[in-house]
Every structure is written in structure tokens, then in C-alpha cells.
């Protein structure tokens, strides 16, 4: 952009501000026409002032630009030199943010009162990166800069089962009561099985063959009974030999829980697999309140006729007195009925395909238990009994509950459905914490392994509660995933002291920062 003086044919001179674009001049501002030299000079100066005011930057001060660039380069060089100087003092880089988060949770629960660092390291490593004890030693050294020797771990496990197990469960119960406001209103009980990869020992009274809930029929196993509160906080556990019938485990665990902690004001909730008349009698004789899943098809003929004679609609529930103070509550759900019918139809279709020839051959005999010893010499004729199929359909959508509480039917059903928390506890224990398979073979170390997993699950649940309270909006697994990406730099200062600094470089890392620094 510049001021142009253009000579006209009439002898006058036009003054204007123009700029050149694609080889052509375009007038931006016309200042006037005159033949007077003084007037032309005035208009020319006025045009330059106009450009200075409205035309933006028209020239570059190369000296100033050079000085600025030189200043920036020197500043960058000083910054880089300072950064390199700082890095030269880095003594160690670790990824210990998960340990820091879980360690704070561990202490908040109260497990630090046990005063044993090996339990602390094993429980936290079990949540962060569950693996064998040998691999855990290397993990602790590589990521957390913790030097825990393997022989010390095994020595600790040999004493854990009878020295600290009691205190661990006491701490867990006390913390759970504090979380729930001082009272444990409901306790949920269930059992699972844990199998072993180590070779079975015929003389072993703990690891034995039995019905495996994981379908591991060839491996020895143990039975684990677990008590949890509302929200799934663990309270107590017991270990039984692998062939123990699960229905016989509930009463000993509950009696032991009451004896150790003096808690009686609660309602026991358990599924139908643990429901038998002996258990009900023992619960009532001990004065316990209970809600149990009912085996409605095993009820008396009178009660069964009563159930199938009702015109069931979605959401309807009815109750019937079984004995004095004991009620059977039955509910119906359309969704449950559809699921029951769908599963039965799939089962019948599988039977049709499997036995299309109408005979049972050796390859169709299940290999569970002692059936592996069977020797079939001739095919056996089989057929589908459709009368039994129709009889089964009469029970679609029905679910029963037995209770001696004074709760109304809807509340009983609601409380029973809380059993999912103990099922989730087993799922987390077996998958996230990798409680099984187990490679230990002595009773001491087996029970110690279960105890470590119990502590790890308690820490997992408390971290889950903390995340929810802080509104972080992540799962425990997601929090730990991002925590593992946060590096910690440990500097050795010139005076010999050390200083650590964590680097947060991602939005997700900043999101969980409060778990490390609150």
C-alpha cells in the first residue's frame, strides 16, 4: 500500500492511496486533485498519515526482530541447560502412583496398625498387578523400588494364618461398621470353590476333590465361605476342605462371626443352595433373622398347589405361612418367565440334536465325578419326555423366599436381591485379584494366600467408595490404569537430600490427582 500521484491529461495531478493486487492497482482512498505543487505535497503527506493510521504495519524493524529472537534463543538455551542440569540430579524414575493411592487407602482402613510391611506390599501388589509371589518380588523392585526378598515372603506366609488373620478381620469389620454408620443390618453369605495347579496329595485334608463351581473337575480344590455387608464390604471368611457340602458351611461361619465380634442385630441373606431344613432350624434356634432363597418345587403338595393356582401377573407377590413365624414369599416376573422359557427351549433343542438317533452313546455320557469309570457295552434308548417339559413350564417366572423377619414382602425381595454383592466379590476376587488358581500346597500358605486376597479386596472396595465420593467418574481398574502412567522422578539434591516429583501430562492423570495429593 502506497500514495500514488497520477498526472492527468488536463495537467492536474490526482493523489490517492492504492495497493497492487495481481498486477493491477486498486484505489483505497482518494485524497484529491490539484495543479498547485504545495497542495499536492500536502495531500501526499496526508496520504502517508492515512496509511500509517489505517494500513497496519508497513515496515519491519530488522534490528528489533534480531534482538528479540536472540533474547528468545538465549532464554531457551538457559531453560534447556537448567532442565539438563535438573535431569542430571535424577536418581531414580518409578511408576509408584498406584502404590501411593492404594497405600493411602490401606492406611485409612486401619491395616497399617498390623505393622508388617510385607502384608502391605503383597496386598497392594495383588490389586495392582496380581501374579505369582516370585513375579511379585520383581514387580515391586522394578516399579515401586521396593526390595522384598522372596524367602521373607514365604516365611511371613507361614506365620500369617495364625498370627494376623484375626486382627485383619477385626479391622475390616470395624471399618465397615464405621462406613455403614455403626450398624451392620444385613450380612450376605455365599460360597465358592478355588482350584489348584499344584499336584494333589492323597493325605491332604484341605485340598480335595469335590463339586467345582469353575468346572475344574480334574483339579483338587477348597471351599471358601464369605460374609459381606451391604455394598459388598467384606466382613469375614472361612476355608473348608474341597469336598465339604456348601449347605453345611453357613452356620459355622455365622456362629464364628457372632462369637468373635459380638454382633447379633443383623439379618442373614443367602441363596437357595444353602437352604435346607437343618440350616433353618439352626438359624432359628440361635435367634438369627434370615432371608433365604426357597426351593419352591420342593415345598409340600399343599403349598405347590397354592402357588400354581394363582393367576400370576407381572410384579405380583403373595405369601404363605410355612410354620409359626416363618413365611414363604413368592413373586412373579414376566422377564423371568421369558428367560426361563427361552433357556428351556434352548435346552430341549440341544437334546433333540444330541439324541436325534434316539440312543445314548458312550461319547454322550458326561465325564464328571465317577462316570469316568463307566463302561457302556450297548447303546441305551433315550427320548424326551414332553410331559416333564410342560410341567416345568408351569413354574416359569416364579421365585420364592423364606424369612422369619417382620419385613413386608416387597422389602424381603429387595433385600434378597442384594446378594449380587457377594457374587461380585467372588468375581472380583477370581478375575481382578486372581485368587485362583493357587500354586501353594501347604495349609498355612493356602490360608495366608486367601488372607492376602481378603485384604486386597477390602482395599479395592474402599478405593471404589472413595472414587465414588470424590465424583471422579472412573472404575477402580481405570484409575489404576492411568495411575500406572504417572512417572515419579526422585532427585538427589546437592546437599544430599532427596526430592520427588510426579509428572501429570494427561487430563486423566489430572483427574485422579486428588487421590494422590488431597
The C-alpha cell of 68 is what? 528479540
pLDDT at residue 59 tops 70: no
Which of 9-18, 106-115, 298-307 is the least confident region?
A: 9-18
Instruction: Quick: pLDDT tens for 403-423.
Output: 999 999 999 999 999 889 988
371-375 average pLDDT score = 46
Check pLDDT > 70 for residue 60. no
Q: Average the pLDDT over 173-190 and give the result.
A: 90
Three-state SS annotation for 124-137: HHHHHCCCCHHHHH
φ, ψ of residue 361 to 5 degrees: the values are -100, 170
User: Rounded CA gap, 44 and 391, in Å?
Assistant: 109
Give residue for cell 486376597: 453
Kindly write down the DSSP assignment for every residue of 117-169, as one continuous string.
HHHHHHHHHHHHS---HHHHHHHHHHHH-----HHHHHHHHHHHHHHTHHHHH
For residue 287, give the 3-state DSSP assignment: coil
Separation in Å, CA 165 to CA 9, 229, 414, 450, 518:
112, 19, 33, 10, 31
- CATH classification for the domain delimited by 164-333+397-441, as one of 3.20.20.70, 3.90.350.10, 3.40.50.720, 3.40.50.1000: 3.90.350.10
Q: Compute CA distances 166 → 31, 70, 148, 236, whole Å.
A: 99, 70, 24, 9
Determine what percent of the chain is predicted with pLDDT higher than 70.
88
Q: Looking at residues 167-185, what average pLDDT do you find?
A: 90
Domain boundaries, the chain: 2-54, 92-162+469-517, 164-333+397-441, 336-393
Under 8 Å between Cβ of 437 and 197: yes
Quickly state the pLDDT bin for 468 (edges 50, 70, 90): very high
User: Helices 117-128 and 97-109 sit at what angle, rounded to 10 degrees?
Assistant: 120
Q: Return the closest-CA partner of residue 156 out of 123, 127, 189, 203.
A: 123
Q: What are phi and psi of 451, to 5 degrees?
A: -65, -45
Q: Using the predicted structure, report yes or no on whether residue 319 has a pLDDT greater than 80.
A: yes
Q: Which residues pair with 318 in a beta bridge?
A: 330
Write out pLDDT tens, residues 66-88: 566 667 777 777 777 766 666 66
CA dist., res. 65 & res. 455, Å (int): 65
Q: State pLDDT tens for residues 237-259.
A: 888 888 888 888 888 888 888 88
Given a cut of 70, whether residue 391 has pLDDT beyond it is: yes
Q: Is the pLDDT of residue 333 over 90?
A: yes
Higher pLDDT: 146 or 469? It is 469
Nearest CA to 459 among 112, 136, 194, 187?
112
Note the pLDDT of residue 203: 59
- Residues 381-403, mean pLDDT to the nearest whole number: 88
Chain centroid, CA 323 distance in Å: 42
Q: What is the pLDDT of residues 88-130, one digit of tens each?
A: 677 778 888 998 999 999 999 999 998 888 888 889 989 988 8
Cis status, amide bond into 437, omega within 30 of 0: yes
Reduced to 3 states (helix: H, G, I; strand: E, B; else coil), residue 514 is helix
What per-residue confidence (pLDDT) applies to 109? 94
- Check whether 327 has a pLDDT greater than 70: yes
**Residues in a beta bridge with 290:** 268
Given pLDDT bands bounded at 50, 70 and 90, which one contains residue 171? Answer: very high
Mean pLDDT of 434-461: 86
Q: What is the mean pLDDT of the chain?
A: 83
> Rounded to an integer, what is the distance from CA 245 to the centroid of its chain?
30
Of 343-347, 366-370, 426-430, the one with minimum mean pLDDT is: 366-370
Question: Quick one: pLDDT band at residue 161, thresholds 50, 70, 90?
Answer: low
In the block, residue with C-alpha cell 437334546: 351
DSSP 199: P
Q: What is the pTM of this model?
A: 0.74
Could you give the CA distance from residue 451 to residue 370 in angstroms, rounded to a whole number?
33
Any residues with CB less than 8 A from the CB of 264 and at least 6 apart, and which?
258, 287, 288
In this predicted model, what pLDDT tens digit does every residue of 448-458 receive, in sequence order? 888 999 999 99
* CB count in 10 Å sphere of residue 468: 12
Amino acid at each position: 500500500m502506497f500514495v500514488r500521484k497520477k498526472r492527468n491529461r488536463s495537467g492536474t495531478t490526482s493523489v490517492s492511496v492504492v495497493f497492487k493486487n495481481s498486477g493491477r492497482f486498486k484505489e483505497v482512498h482518494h485524497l484529491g486533485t490539484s495543479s498547485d505543487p504545495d497542495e499536492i505535497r500536502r495531500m501526499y503527506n496526508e496520504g502517508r498519515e492515512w496509511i500509517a493510521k489505517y494500513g497496519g504495519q508497513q515496515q519491519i524493524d530488522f534490528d528489533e526482530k534480531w534482538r528479540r529472537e536472540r533474547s528468545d534463543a538465549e532464554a531457551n538455551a538457559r531453560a534447556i541447560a537448567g532442565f539438563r542440569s535438573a535431569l542430571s540430579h535424577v536418581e531414580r524414575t518409578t511408576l509408584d502412583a498406584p502404590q501411593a493411592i492404594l497405600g493411602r487407602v490401606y492406611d485409612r482402613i486401619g491395616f497399617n496398625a498390623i505393622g508388617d510391611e510385607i502384608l502391605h506390599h503383597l496386598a497392594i501388589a495383588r490389586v495392582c498387578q496380581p501374579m505369582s509371589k516370585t513375579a511379585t518380588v520383581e514387580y515391586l523392585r522394578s516399579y515401586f523400588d521396593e526390595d522384598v526378598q522372596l524367602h521373607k515372603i514365604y516365611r511371613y506366609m507361614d506365620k500369617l494364618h495364625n498370627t494376623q488373620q484375626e486382627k485383619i478381620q477385626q479391622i475390616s469389620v470395624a471399618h465397615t461398621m464405621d462406613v455403614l454408620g455403626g450398624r451392620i443390618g444385613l450380612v450376605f453369605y455365599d460360597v465358592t470353590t478355588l482350584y489348584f495347579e499344584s499336584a494333589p496329595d492323597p493325605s491332604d485334608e484341605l485340598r480335595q476333590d469335590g463339586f467345582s463351581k469353575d468346572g475344574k473337575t480334574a483339579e483338587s480344590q477348597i471351599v471358601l465361605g464369605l460374609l459381606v455387608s451391604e455394598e459388598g464390604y467384606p466382613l469375614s471368611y472361612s476355608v473348608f476342605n474341597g469336598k465339604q457340602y456348601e449347605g453345611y458351611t453357613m452356620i459355622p461361619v455365622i456362629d464364628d462371626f457372632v462369637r468373635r465380634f459380638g454382633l447379633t442385630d443383623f439379618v442373614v441373606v443367602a441363596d437357595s443352595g444353602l437352604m435346607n431344613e437343618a440350616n433353618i432350624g439352626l438359624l432359628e434356634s440361635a435367634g438369627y433373622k434370615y432371608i433365604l432363597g426357597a426351593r419352591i418345587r420342593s415345598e409340600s403338595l399343599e403349598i405347590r398347589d397354592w402357588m400354581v393356582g394363582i393367576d400370576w401377573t407381572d410384579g405380583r407377590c403373595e405369601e404363605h405361612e410355612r410354620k409359626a413365624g416363618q413365611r414363604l414369599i413368592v413373586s412373579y416376573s414376566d422377564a423371568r418367565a421369558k428367560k426361563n422359557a427361552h433357556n428351556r427351549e434352548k435346552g430341549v433343542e440341544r437334546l433333540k440334536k444330541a439324541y436325534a438317533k434316539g440312543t445314548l452313546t458312550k461319547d454322550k455320557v458326561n465325564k464328571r465325578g465317577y462316570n469316568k469309570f463307566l463302561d457302556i457295552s450297548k447303546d441305551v434308548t433315550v427320548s424326551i419326555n414332553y410331559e416333564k417339559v410342560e410341567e416345568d413350564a408351569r413354574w416359569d417366572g416364579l421365585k420364592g423366599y423364606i424369612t422369619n423377619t417382620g419385613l413386608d414382602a416387597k422389602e424381603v425381595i429387595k433385600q434378597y436381591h442384594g446378594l449380587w454383592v457377594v457374587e461380585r466379590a467372588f468375581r472380583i476376587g477370581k478375575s481382578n485379584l486372581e485368587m485362583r488358581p493357587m500354586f501353594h500346597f501347604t495349609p498355612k500358605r493356602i490360608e495366608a494366600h486367601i488372607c492376602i486376597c481378603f485384604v486386597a479386596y477390602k482395599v479395592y472396595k474402599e478405593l471404589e467408595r472413595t472414587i465414588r465420593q470424590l465424583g471422579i467418574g472412573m472404575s477402580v481398574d481405570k484409575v489404576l490404569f492411568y495411575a500406572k502412567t504417572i512417572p515419579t522422578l526422585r532427585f538427589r539434591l546437592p546437599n544430599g537430600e532427596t526430592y520427588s516429583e510426579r509428572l501429570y501430562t494427561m487430563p486423566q492423570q489430572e483427574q485422579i490427582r486428588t487421590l494422590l495429593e488431597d
